[in-house]
């Protein structure tokens, strides 16, 4: 039987690991450390099968990021796939990310603001290596580091992306992100059902019970979760979880 894939998140700002609460990165969090590369090695040692990295400098300004060398080090330091989100707003930026060793890029803002460029990236690298980010706040898609409202509903956005050939969605309820409120399972399940594609749920996971609730949606296409704060703050023993309850395949 397939199991839920648990993906630890490493959120980076100014070269440091940060805690993210409702899309806002917080520096100087003792439980999170300062070295994203060291954190990647820790998660790999804990038997993670994949790592999700967010570059908040790039997400906010969309230009050259001070975190590029750090992200490249993460990719070269672990032997598991690394997926990267934040600030990928052109084909050239996507190529740079791939050249750093990233396995999959996660794109949200560009798909809203420049669908033609997004489709170029999708055609160039293929749907296996390009996922669409759907960040939702009160049932409205938000972009630009979750700072700009779009008047699009998550489901309408997902159906548009589906027509372009997207095969995986990273769905985040910003309201629950980093708040330890529990995941918005209904949103991810709806998108998986209506698109008939794979969904990674992000945001709100508090403990093992939440993971078991998400696992009930495997048959609908919700096959993975991105977890940040609950892992960093030891809300459940991740090593035991990954070894006993999760044998996911990155697909």
Active-site entry in 55, 135, 210, 223: 135
11 belongs to the catalytic site: yes
Q: Do residues 31 and 226 make contact, with C-beta atoms less than 8 angstroms apart?
A: no
Active-site entry in 11, 55, 173, 210: 11
Q: Do residues 5 and 245 make contact, with C-beta atoms less than 8 angstroms apart?
A: no
Task: State phi, psi for 200 to the nearest 5 degrees.
Answer: -105, 120
CA of residue 145 relative to chain centroid, distance: 13
CA of residue 238 relative to chain centroid, distance: 18
Q: Do residues 113 and 143 make contact, with C-beta atoms less than 8 angstroms apart?
A: yes
Residue entry with tokens 């990233």: 102
Q: Which residues fall within 8 angstroms of residue 11, CB to CB, at 6 or more apart? A: 17, 18, 19, 20, 25, 53, 54, 56, 228
160 belongs to the catalytic site: no
Nearest to 93 by CA among 119, 66, 58, 128: 58
CA of residue 191 relative to chain centroid, distance: 16
Task: State phi, psi for 24 to the nearest 5 degrees.
Answer: -105, 120
Task: State phi, psi for 246 to the nearest 5 degrees.
Answer: -140, 120
> Which residues form the catalytic set?
11, 135
């Amino acid at each position: 039987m397939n199991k839920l894939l648990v993906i630890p998140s490493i959120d980076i700002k100014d070269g440091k690991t940060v805690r993210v609460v409702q899309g806002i990165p917080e520096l100087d969090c003792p439980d999170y450390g300062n070295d994203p590369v060291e954190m990647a090695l820790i998660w790999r040692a804990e038997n993670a099968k994949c790592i999700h990295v967010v570059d908040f400098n790039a997400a906010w300004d969309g230009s050259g990021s001070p975190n590029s060398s750090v992200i490249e080090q993460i990719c070269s330091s672990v032997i598991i796939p690394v997926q990267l989100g934040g600030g990928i707003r052109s084909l050239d930026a996507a190529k740079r990310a791939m050249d750093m060793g990233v396995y999959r890029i996660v794109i949200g803002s560009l798909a809203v603001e420049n669908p033609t460029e997004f489709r170029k990236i999708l055609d160039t690298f293929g749907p296996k290596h390009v996922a669409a980010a759907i960040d939702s706040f009160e049932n409205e898609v938000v972009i630009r580091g979750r700072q700009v409202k779009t008047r699009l509903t998550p489901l309408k956005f997902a159906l548009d992306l589906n027509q372009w050939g997207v095969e995986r969605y990273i769905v985040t309820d910003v309201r629950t992100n980093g708040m330890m409120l529990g995941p918005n399972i209904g949103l991810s399940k709806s998108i998986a059902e209506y698109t008939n594609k794979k969904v990674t749920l992000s945001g709100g996971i508090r403990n093992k019970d939440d993971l078991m609730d998400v696992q009930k949606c495997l048959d609908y296409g919700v096959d993975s979760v991105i977890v940040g704060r609950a892992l960093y703050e030891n809300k459940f023993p991740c090593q035991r979880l990954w070894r006993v309850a999760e044998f996911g395949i990155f697909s």
